[in-house]
Amino acid sequence: MLLWWIGNAVLLVVILPVVVRLLQGVVQPAAEIKQTADQLAATGPVLVNKLDPVPQLATTQQLVHQTTAGLARYGAALDRIL
């Protein structure tokens, strides 16, 4: 019976604080991850609204190519004139 009491005392004094410390090492990063996820969830819809003009980038790119081609023709004409 005395060995049971010694075993229980060792469990409470040595093992339990180690387990608590290890749990703190897991719970604290998990809480930080949750905070970061909450921040992302709050700013996500705002970022999605900023992506609405993205399909128009293809049109803009086509217009840039057309303008560049026109400028190249203009430059070639100037070379012929001069």
pLDDT in tens, 15-43: 888 999 999 999 999 999 999 999 988 88
Integer angstrom CA distances of residue 80 from 10, 70, 71, 73, 76: 97, 15, 14, 11, 6
What is d(CA 67, CA 73) in angstroms, rounded to the nearest whole number? 10
pTM of the complete model: 0.46
Domain ranges of the chain: 1-51, 53-82
What is d(CA 45, CA 38) in angstroms, rounded to the nearest whole number? 12
What is d(CA 79, CA 64) in angstroms, rounded to the nearest whole number? 22
Q: Categorize the per-residue pLDDT at 47 as very low, low, confident or very high, splitting at 50, 70 and 90.
A: confident
